[in-house]
Amino acid sequence: MIPASFDYQVAESPEHAVALLTEHGDEAKLLAGGHSLIPMMRFRLATPAVLIDVGRLQDLRYINATNGSIAIGALTRHSELEHSKLLAQSVPLLASVAALVGDPAVRHRGTIGGTLAHSDPASDLPAALLALGATIVARGPHGDREIAITDFFTGYFESALADDEMIVEVRVPVSTGGWDYQKFNRRAQDWAIVGVAVAQGGSGVSLVNMGSTPLRASATEQALASGASVAEAATLAAEGLQPPGDLNADAEFRSHLARVLTERALVAAGASST
Amino acid sequence: MNTTMTETEEAATTSYTHIGKARLRREDPALLTGEARFIDDLTLPAELWLGIVRSTEAHAKILGVDGRAALEIEGVSEVLSGADLAPLWGESALPCAWPVTDDMANPPHLPVATSVAKYVGDAVAVVLATSRYAAADGAAAVLVDYEQLPAVTDIESALATDAPLVHESLGTNKSYTWPLIPNPEAVDEAFANAAHTISERYVQQRLIPAPMEPRGVLASPGVANGELTLYSATQVPHILKVMTAVTLGIPEHKIRVVAPSVGGGFGCKLNVYAEEILCSALAMDRGVPVRWTEGRSEAATATIQGRGQVQHIELAADTDGKVTAVRVKLLADMGAYLQLVTPGVPLLGGFLYHGCYDIPNYSFECTSVFTNKTPTDAYRGAGRPEATYAIERAMDSLAIAVGVTPEEIRSRNFIAADAFPYESSAGLVFDSGDYQTVLDKAVAMANLDTVRTEQTKRRADKSNKLLGIGFSSYVEMCGLAPSRVLASLNYGAGGWEAATVRVLPTAKVQVITGSTPHGQGHETSWSMIVADKLGIDPDDIEVLHSDTAISPTGLDTYGSRSLSVGGTAVFMATDKVLDKARLIAAHQLEANEGDLEYVDGSFNVKGTPTAAVPFAAIAFAAFTAHDLPDGMEPNLEAHVTYDPPNFTFPNGTHIAIVEVDTQTGDVAIVDYVAVDDCGNQINPLIVEGQIHGGVLQGAAQALYEDAVYSEDGQIVTVNLGDYLVPSAAEAPTYRLASHVTPSPTNPMGVKGVGEAGTIAAAPAVINAVVDALRPLGVTDMAMPASPQTVWNTINNVNNEAPGGAS
């Protein structure tokens, strides 16, 4: 497959990227790792007129501890999350999930900012960050703003980012309570058919590929908080959701998988009613 | 003709320096470093790119082709409809070389449709442009006006009286019916007298071959002399040369076909495709090179697909489970047109539905139908995986009916080791084998007692991770093929293979082979054969192939034929070289040639090793021709065309151990044991590689791959995210062993191994899945056994039998 023609510009700084975004509006797309965007362009599902390459913004590649949370630069690669000692100690769920994204080539190119901006409901890291209660820092023409991740995902491949904003940082609270990630797929490199992330012993439970955005399993979280058993809480994992159907799983099977995997994740995370 | 492995292994190691020992492939450094040149790495000045407009409809009248928007795009020079192109080939059509019956329906198949598009992907117009990008943009901009027609997508309803017709002029969707029923009354009698009968229906889903390199073509005209050089990512440059000449009327001696490095084929490049004819015709007509590179999604419909059958198999057996008859009715999906060997593929399995069992009464009938889908054709195993699947699944059902283990039902029915050469009820003569010993070895390796203990424990514990054990004992027919047998099957060519061994003045050797490698490692294996026979280093031997100007005679690579036919030709040509060398040595030693022996690369008179003539001296003497025997031609070179007297019959037993997660439907292959008899082995490393890849390709049919079409004929799986080719991460850890019964058919005793793993693996895996779930009431499992399918199957059983196991 061959993409439609496009212009290519290199951003020299986040401010330059924002300026280019301001100039080109919704005709432009930021290019970071490119492992989601480029395939969509090759299938002509995405036809941006301008690609703004932010992949060279080395200053946005970092993982730092700050005041009880971990600050991660938007251009940090999945493989850097996977192998970070700081994350392994402070947010082990995130390091563990990063290790399950795609294959090694994808993990060496893909970035945390890119995967959030792409807002694919089938991606692993956005759901993990949702369970962890992360905060997203977006830079626009008027400076930075913080977006709670619960407000970030607005629809299928859509986020709260404005056309002239780019993600510069992701802040994740230190989270060492019981955690687990269940990724169910047919081939190791594939997106999850259904995934379940559990953070802090079950106070954060989120779902991959169970709707148009990454989702919190709210009914499960509330049931656990109200004293339900893990098994009872898990049966509520797909409550009120309208999961998609595709070649790998119809909606009914997806709901079933969500329940099974939520129970497994909660058990592995050592969750119990509070 | 039975030899224990120990004896043959000893024979191999004592006789040969290289044959039988693992040797790294000489092909790999260039492939691994990117130095190898594939079709897309070649460029020619002034070349034009072909973009192909493909039908988006499964069945539709083409009312009009509007190229105006495409012509606005920079670089696009022409937009041509099927009608515009028709004068380039007139009435002649793409070739089908296998009219399996006299009354087989074979409608004309033009490279570009003129009036009706018959499947999604059918070419309806083309664009010529100065770059690949412009060709792609141009093809995307062409507007085709369609009038939709009803589509035929289900082969089981294709013959209904009210079914729409793929080819209106035929009045039917049937292409042919091909029976192989030597004694119908005896079959009926066996079923009438049977203590046990089994009757099952299996579906062989369509598969997309998906070699790592899609297809590509570059046609270069020689305007002054009316020549055509055709580069193609093909398995069959020799066949392509003949067919291009026949189809386009270009004199054959003016055509040169080159297959550069080819990144796999699995049968899908055993064909003559529209794009090869299109590029050739346009290049010759326009007088400039014309090229085309297939996209991955394009390949999903523009390249043939494999399988596509519905099988009904019945077994009759006595009280002990000894099978007395097998009766098969096969429905085969041809797709919209017959490609090169489309109709013959199901029949390659048609002789093997009794598997490796001594079944005295045989009945096989294949009915083939047209559908509005991509044509089917050869795909790794080609008919034999399907046959093996049916008999091996049915044998497991028989074991249950009789109340014995799967290994016991097989043992009771195997062709006995002392029965070879064995004449089968389907009319073949099997060369050699010891099926029981092979099975015993596999059973021992699989630690079945331990696995069954654990299996029983998990069942008792109501575990949601159930274990299953799946057997597959297979025999296949390889080494295509004796030309006279092919004649009896109406095949349009022979089955011989050619080789030349040319000794250069400096005692380096060129081997020219007519079989065409595309990943099999011919260069390594052929050099080992010749090196051992000549007593020289394999690195002093170059193997040339895949270019009809260098290797003008050949029938190429498919059907696990390369070693047993092409390798045998190389072996025999080397013998001819040695015969001539012996005459020269005798002349120089003034000895009787009968008194000479050839040891470590030198001729000497037996008993007097000091008087020796080394190979290098003979090579140079043959070149100078200063002192040759009277009347002998200079130079040392021999050519052999070898027509095999029979097929070869590789066989084996594979055992898959699977763990099925009954909550999620996930199937994991936790152990895989394969014991194969491919005859004597030249390079065990290549044998292992073939089995590894073959098994994964068979397991892929069992668990992952499926060319999914909607009811109206739209294909859904056009990329490798939706069409699930497994990767190394999904591959089981294989545990392999071999058992060798040399084939008496050829001098090296070889059989072939290119398709064995694929043939064996799918039934082994599905038998294991069914075995795991049998306590839940499951008796069959559709392929691919995806989590959704497994979950549905368990649920359906539970719904049908309330109160059953959960």
Q: Where do the structural domains in chain A lie, given as residue ranges?
A: 7-53, 58-173, 180-268
Clarify whether residues B693 and B733 are in a common domain. Answer: yes
Q: Which of B663, B665, B727 sits opposite A187 (nearest CB)?
A: B727
Clarify whether residues B126 and B241 are in a common domain. Answer: yes
- Look at residue B299 in the predicted model and tell me its pLDDT: 98
- Look at residue A271 in the predicted model and tell me its pLDDT: 85
d(CA B769, CA B244) in angstroms, rounded, equals 47
Mean pLDDT to the nearest integer, B343-363: 98
Express each pLDDT in B255-299 by its tens digit: 999 999 999 999 999 999 999 999 999 999 999 999 999 999 999
CATH architecture label of A7-53: 2-Layer Sandwich (3.30)
Other Cβ atoms within 10 Å of B251 Cβ, number: 10
Clarify whether residues B199 and B215 are in a common domain. Answer: no
Q: Which of B722, B726, B729 sits opposite A247 (nearest CB)?
A: B722
d(CA A147, CA A144) in angstroms, rounded, equals 10
The fraction of chain B above a pLDDT of 70, given in percent, is 98
Note whether B717 contacts A186, CB cutoff 8 Å: no
B344 DSSP assignment: G
CATH architecture label of A58-173: 2-Layer Sandwich (3.30)
User: Which residues in chain B have Cβ-Cβ distances shorter than 8 Å to A107?
Assistant: none
A49 prior amide bond cis, ω within 30: no
DSSP letters spanning B79-94 = EEEHHHHHHHHTT---
Structure tokens at B449: 């007692």
B417 DSSP assignment: G
CA atoms within 13 Å, Cβ hemisphere of B392: 29
Give the Å distances, CA to CA, from B157 to A172, B105, B164, B258, B346.
58, 18, 10, 43, 19
Q: Which of B726, B727, B788 sits opposite A253 (nearest CB)?
A: B788
Query: Is residue B490 domain-resident?
Result: no
| The last residue of a domain, from among B302, B328, B352 | B302
Q: What superfamily would CATH give domain A180-268? A: CO dehydrogenase flavoprotein, C-terminal domain (3.30.390.50)
Contacts A–B by Cβ distance under 8 A: 59
Average pLDDT, chain A: 96
B375 DSSP assignment: P
B768, with CB counted inside 10 A (0-12, 13-18, 19+), is: buried
Clarify whether residues B672 and B717 are in a common domain. Answer: yes
Clarify whether residues B338 and B288 are in a common domain. Answer: no
For residue B783, pLDDT over 90 is answered with: yes
Clarify whether residues B657 and B789 are in a common domain. Answer: yes
Note whether B297 contacts A1, CB cutoff 8 Å: yes
Query: Is residue B358 domain-resident?
Result: yes
Q: Which ranges constitute the DSSP H helices of B535-683?
A: 568-589, 615-624
Mean pLDDT to the nearest integer, A1-21: 94
Query: Is residue B379 domain-resident?
Result: yes
Report the residue of chain A nearest B131, measured CA to CA: A2
Query: Is residue B27 domain-resident?
Result: yes
- Look at residue B384 in the predicted model and tell me its pLDDT: 98
Are A58-173 and A180-268 the same fold in CATH? no
Express each pLDDT in B240-252 by its tens digit: 999 999 999 999 9
User: Which residues in chain B have Cβ-Cβ distances shorter than 8 Å to A235?
Assistant: none
Cβ of residue A193 closer than 8 Å to a chain B Cβ: yes
CA-based radius of gyration for chain A: 18
Element (H, E) at B362: strand B361-370
| The last residue of a domain, from among B237, B271, B302 | B302
Tell me the CATH number at B232. 3.90.1170.50
Per the CB < 8 A criterion, the answer to whether A161 and A153 are in contact is no
Clarify whether residues B382 and B449 are in a common domain. Answer: no
Test mutation, B294, B725, B788, B793, chain A, max A CBs within 10 A: B788
d(CA B329, CA B181) in angstroms, rounded, equals 11
Express each pLDDT in A201-246 by its tens digit: 999 999 999 999 999 999 999 999 999 999 999 999 999 999 999 9
Contacts of B404 (CB under 8 A, 6+ apart): B321, B412
- Look at residue B609 in the predicted model and tell me its pLDDT: 76
User: Which residues in chain A have Cβ-Cβ distances shorter than 8 Å to B719?
Assistant: 43
Cβ of residue A257 closer than 8 Å to a chain B Cβ: yes
User: ipTM for the complex?
Assistant: 0.96
Clarify whether residues B638 and B727 are in a common domain. Answer: no
Note whether B787 contacts A247, CB cutoff 8 Å: no
Report the residue of chain B nearest A263, measured CA to CA: B663
For residue A274, pLDDT over 60 is answered with: no
Across the beta sheet with B509-513, the strand order is B541-544, B509-513, B497-503, B636-642
Cα of A10 to nearest chain B Cα, Å = 23
User: What's chain B's length in residues?
Assistant: 806
Clarify whether residues B547 and B638 are in a common domain. Answer: yes
| Banded model confidence at residue B798, pLDDT cuts 50, 70, 90 | confident
Query: Is residue B486 domain-resident?
Result: no
User: Which residues in chain B have Cβ-Cβ distances shorter than 8 Å to A186?
Assistant: 703-704, 724, 786-787
Q: What's the domain range around B461?
A: 1-36+416-476+649-806
Query: Is residue B487 domain-resident?
Result: no
Query: Is residue B740 domain-resident?
Result: yes
Helix B274-286 / helix B237-248 crossing angle, nearest 10 deg? 60
Mean pLDDT to the nearest integer, B489-507: 96
Cα of A104 to nearest chain B Cα, Å = 12
For residue B2, pLDDT over 60 is answered with: no
Clarify whether residues B673 and B770 are in a common domain. Answer: yes
Domain count, chain B: 4
Clarify whether residues B238 and B276 are in a common domain. Answer: yes
Note whether B137 contacts A4, CB cutoff 8 Å: yes
User: Which residues in chain A have Cβ-Cβ distances shorter than 8 Å to B726?
Assistant: 187
Tell me the CATH number at B715. 3.30.365.10
Mean pLDDT to the nearest integer, A188-206: 96
Cα of A248 to nearest chain B Cα, Å = 7
| Banded model confidence at residue B801, pLDDT cuts 50, 70, 90 | low
d(CA B334, CA B510) in angstroms, rounded, equals 42
| The last residue of a domain, from among B591, B608, B642 | B642
- Look at residue B231 in the predicted model and tell me its pLDDT: 98
Note whether B729 contacts A189, CB cutoff 8 Å: yes
Other Cβ atoms within 10 Å of A127 Cβ, number: 29
Lowest mean pLDDT among A264-273, B5-14, B540-549: B5-14
Clarify whether residues B95 and B221 are in a common domain. Answer: yes
DSSP letters spanning B96-140 = -----STT-------SS-SSEE-STT-EEEEEEESSHHHHHHHHH
- Look at residue B803 in the predicted model and tell me its pLDDT: 44
Per the CB < 8 A criterion, the answer to whether B797 and B778 are in contact is yes
Residues of chain B by 3-state class (helix, strand, coil), percent to 5: 35, 25, 40
Test mutation, A187, A264, A267, chain B, max B CBs within 10 A: A187
Average pLDDT, chain B: 95
